[in-house]
Structure 1
Amino acid sequence: MHKPYKIPESVLVVIHSPELDVLLIERADKPGFWQSVTGSKDAEDEPVQQTAVREVFEETGIRIIDETSDIEGQSNSVSISNLNNWQLSNVYEIYPVWRHRYAPGVTRNIEHVFGLLVPRDIPVVLAPREHISQMWLPYREAADKCFSPSNAEAILQLPKYSQRQRPEKA
C-alpha cells in the first residue's frame, strides 16, 4: 500500500524560554542535523495553528492547551496563549534527500513560523523515531547550530517576536 504523500505546507515552531534560550532537537534520520520543531499539515484543510500544536506534542511531549481545558498541574502543559503565530512564511526548496515523501514534481514547501514560550525547565520527551537528542542554547548559538537556513533565520528573529513575559501554565 502506498503511503500518502506529504503536503508541502508545514510549520516551524521555535520553542523558547523567557530568557530567549531555544530548544533544539537532533534528527534521528540525520544525526548532527539540529532543528526546531517542524512538521507538515496532516490534511489540506488543517489550520496551521492546529498543525503547530500537534507537531509540538508529537515531537516534544509538550501539550499546548486552551484555557477551557480541565488539565491542570501537568508540568508538560502550557497555555495556547503562549503559542505566537509570527505571521511569517518561508518558501524553500525541499532538500533532495526528502523529496520522495512528496508527490512527483513537488520541489517547494511553504513553512509558517510560530514561537512557543515555555518555562526553561519544562519536561521534554522526544519521539525516538524522529529525534535522538535535545539541547537548550542561547538563541544566537541555537541559530548557528541549525542545519536549515530558514530555521536559523527564524531563531535570529526571536527577540523581535518573542513574548518576554512569564509563560502561562495551563
Structure 2
Amino acid sequence: MTHPLPASPATFKIPESVLVVIHTPEHDVLLIRRADWGTWQSVTGSKDHPAEDWQETAIREVQEETGIDARHPSCRLQDWQLENVYDIYPAWRWRYAPGVSRNTERVFGLCVPQRMPVVLSPREHTEAQWLPWQAAADQCFSPSNAEAILMLPRFVPTHSA
C-alpha cells in the first residue's frame, strides 16, 4: 500500500487506543466492517490528544463510529481494566511518529438495552451486524478483539430467566 504524503508531526496518531465491545444483556455483539480492509471489528480508535482519558476516548469513538451515545441512561459503559500492547501492523505505521511500532489498547464494554440500528461513518465502515458473542469473536480479524469478546461473560453475566 502506498501513501501519497507522510503524516506530519501534527497529525501523527497517538499509539494509545480503545477497543469497545458493544453488546446487549443477552451477549449479542455489534461488529462493524472496516471500509479500508473489509474486516470485521468492534469499535476502536486512538486518543485525540495525550491528555484525553480512556473513557472520553471510548465515548467519542462509539459516537463517531456508530452514532450510539454511550452516556445515555439506558447504556452502561464499563472499563474492563485490561490493556493490550501489540505491534502496529507495518501497513499502518506511516500514521505514527517515526520509530513508533507498538500500541496500547484499553478495553471497554458498552451494554445497550437491545440490538439497535447504528449510523456508520462511511469513510470508516461499510456495514454493521449483531451476532451472538461466540460468532462475533469468530468474525473478528484482530486477535485482541476476538479475545475481548470471548471475555464478555466474565465481565457481564447474562440475565437468567
TM-score, reference length from structure 2: 0.89
Secondary structure, in 3 states, of the residue corresponding to 1:152? helix
What's 1:108 paired with?
A: 102
Distance 1:125 1:81, change over 3 A: closer
What's 1:74 paired with?
A: none
Secondary structure, in 3 states, of the residue corresponding to 1:134? strand
Distance 1:95 1:59, change over 3 A: same
Q: How many residues align?
A: 152
Shift of 1:61: 0.2
Secondary structure, in 3 states, of the residue corresponding to 1:87? strand
Shift of 1:164: 4.4
Q: Structure 1 regions of 5+ residues with no counterpart?
A: 66-77, 166-170
What's 2:33 paired with?
A: 26
1:90 equivalent to 2:97? Answer no
Contact 2:14 2:46 in 1 (8 A): yes
> Aligned letter for 1:15?
I
> In 2, distance between residues paired with 1:136 and 1:12?
17
What's 2:112 paired with?
A: 118
> In 2, distance between residues paired with 1:91 and 1:16?
23
4+ residue segments displaced more than 4 Å:
none
Shift of 1:12: 0.2
Identity, in percent, stands at: 63
Partner of residue 24 from structure 2, selected from 2, 10, 17: 17
What's 2:68 paired with?
A: 62
1:135-166 C-alpha deviation (Å, 9 max, x unpaired): 1111111111100000000000000012646x
Alignment RMSD: 1.6
